[in-house]
Structure 1
């Protein structure tokens, strides 16, 4: 698949008849500060007939007026400077077709890298590439900086771009205030331990504090991480949930059951010593805060992470419900009180005094014995519409390479209740993992397609 970029340009916000005075500064919140300092990459594919590039550019400029953070720059403070500098937009084509093999083509290894901007050496916080295929399908590749927003807030902006392109009102209404929502209480109520969880000492090595985990013996820096896409049918998921919940006090969510399933399979495939610690990292959205609630149109990050922990032997020797319940309990623990405790701690001055830094360090991520699971099951894909309907394909992307054990779980765009999972593992682990997917005693109905 050869991509030809015909043009690229900087786009500034289009305020119409109004004129916003540039130069405002939005301080980063305590949640922004502990988020990853890196770009996130997404690829969406749309059936014909997509709007022309001139319409996409105009819609993007109007969306940037509603979300000026994406045309700003990260400044000192730290903060986002609303300087109306620009976002970056590229127009490209390819002679390839997107037919029945679209999924295979778009998911194929390094080929997908040419469908979105890399973000290397740039100051822009948002970069987009529109690639038109010979069949007139459109692929939009997004490169978005994580310091600006978390996944749901990124989604809000992408949906706003579609709304602006179609000429309809942008909804939800944007909320740009990042400080008053997360004000420190007086007196502070720090009820939970946050050292070694969200924050760690500056000189702590990766794997310290329990957040990244020990390294698997024998893994070298040059080992290849390979990627597989799994599709789990609605029937298989229902069978899995029924299997886990049978005879138990309550039912469990799709995410909890899948997280436990992956954790178990990967632990077995890695061949860990039964006494070694293993953890699964699960993002927990701060929308569960109550006093006050986080508005739907909030534009920043409001995510922390749960780290259910056990020894490698436990998920394999016990019923799958053990891992599911462990995950459920740890996620439930991160309620309004936990988030408010984190706000109070992060605002207490201890971060500066003790020179604490985020444990979410993109340069140090190596999961080793652990698993990281990001879910976008709640994303309403049908609302991403540029006038040609909802996307028929979506995948999260990685640059320069995926991380061993960092999984994305996505609601299938087929609309049949199935779930897609993007699983990157070391090559020597992947074959064992695929066998585990069929051999572990979970549902007798196995319709997962590898």
Structure 2
């Protein structure tokens, strides 16, 4: 199926007075926080689909313009501010707005099988200056696909979900809500005196590559010596975890806990199962260390808490790890406990320690770079998890109800794992798993077995 691009233009914020952007504030530079700068410096793309009837493109464009007037950082540009710091310029330069059509019904589009075709439903995300890009793709049946790509250093998942809710309200002619808290330039100040209690050089930051050719020279080998070329091509699989399967998995993980310990959470149980199953499918055994990179939202962990409506990044990572042989041999509750402990350790003290470290000047002095490295192509024996549970992504409603599809773009990095709530709204989940094709074949055989 061919996606035909009908138009591509820039949409600028439309302020309450209906006037074009302008004024002294248009040239304001807002420094990125240390939490913004340590995350991935690239666009992240998501795709929605809605059944008809849907409002016309002009209504969605107007709603976007109104939402951008409130979320001005999305309409700005990233650069180096007058003080030499990496910042976002609030210049109201606008977002990319693309209109497209498909001469076929939505039902024949391969939403159920993640594939490169997904990338045709959103604009290109490499080497673009717009911090937000939107593509509206109309199908012959009247269904609408909305492809959104936003720069990660401007907003994490929670902040992006808030923006989606605001865009939907603005499209329906309602007041934009929630109103974002935009104080990234001052919120995460270091303590005086600073107190660095944790090894951030080995966790969030690392030494810069020895040469510019590092990624090209090592594209087929990761730090643990596993080669991409050996097992075959990387494929992405969508695994549906039914409500009943999740309940049984959670019960199994928690079955060995002595009182008065509470049971493991759904998140801990599901991730533990996927970690063990993928490790087994990869054929990893004793003597190999495997770890999972898990995003941890600091909004409720920091003291005082960061407002839920804060616009920016408030994410660091937990790294549960285990010997691969022990991980597979021991019950799922063992893996759940490793995840529980690692995530719990990323608390207020850890976030404050990171802020003090990243604000100290040592990152610049030593030429350190973030470990959040999108140039990696192979993570085996490790995993990288993006969990979108608990984020209000389904609040995007243009007037015709909730989406019927929601998914990340096609992202074939071996070892990447996306975990999403199902659009069914019944407590089921969808896991998008990227593995070498022969490992994926084995994963499919065992992924629904609870051990």
TM surpasses 0.5: yes
2:132 aligned with 1:120:
no
2:241 aligned with 1:229:
no
2:384 aligned with 1:376:
no
Per the alignment, in what secondary structure is the counterpart of residue 139 of structure 1? strand
Question: 2:197 is matched with which residue?
Answer: 191
Farther off after superposition, 52-61 or 266-275 = 266-275
Whole-angstrom CA distance in 1 between matches of 2:90 and 2:186: 18
Whole-angstrom CA distance in 2 between matches of 1:269 and 1:57: 45
The one of 117, 120, 145 aligned to 1:111: 117
CA contact (8 A) 1:214 1:368 kept: no
The one of 47, 64, 69 aligned to 2:51: 47
Whole-angstrom CA distance in 1 between matches of 2:65 and 2:182: 18
Question: 1:241 is matched with which residue?
Answer: 250
TM-score by length of 1: 0.92
Shift of 1:438: 4.2
Per the alignment, in what secondary structure is the counterpart of residue 327 of structure 1? helix
Runs of 5+ consecutive residues of structure 1 not aligned to the other structure: 207-211, 443-450
2:370 aligned with 1:354:
no
Whole-angstrom CA distance in 1 between matches of 2:37 and 2:377: 17
CA contact (8 A) 1:106 1:112 kept: no
Per the alignment, in what secondary structure is the counterpart of residue 36 of structure 1? coil
Question: How far does the alpha carbon of each residue in 1:282-330 deviate from its partner, in whole angstroms, 9 at most, with x for none?
Answer: 1000113343321122111111010111111111111111111000000
Cα 1:108–1:368 change in 2 (3 A) is closer
Whole-angstrom CA distance in 2 between matches of 1:224 and 1:198: 29
The one of 117, 132, 136 aligned to 1:130: 136
Shift of 1:415: 1.3
CA contact (8 A) 2:5 2:98 kept: yes
Question: 1:447 is matched with which residue?
Answer: none
Report the number of matched residues.
432
Question: 2:218 is matched with which residue?
Answer: none
Shift of 1:159: 1.6
Question: 1:445 is matched with which residue?
Answer: none
Shift of 1:98: 2.3
Runs of 5+ consecutive residues of structure 2 not aligned to the other structure: 216-220
CA contact (8 A) 1:412 1:419 kept: yes
Matches within 5 A, 1:38-77: 38-76=42-80, 77=85
Question: 2:101 is matched with which residue?
Answer: 93
2:430 aligned with 1:411:
no
Question: How far does the alpha carbon of each residue in 1:92-114 deviate from its partner, in whole angstroms, 9 at most, with x for none?
Answer: 11122124x66x44645122121
Question: 2:438 is matched with which residue?
Answer: 428
Matches within 5 A, 1:255-294: 255-294=267-306
2:31 aligned with 1:35:
no
RMSD across aligned positions (CA): 1.9
The one of 288, 309, 321 aligned to 1:309: 321
Farther off after superposition, 305-314 or 106-115 = 106-115
The one of 204, 220, 224 aligned to 2:229: 220
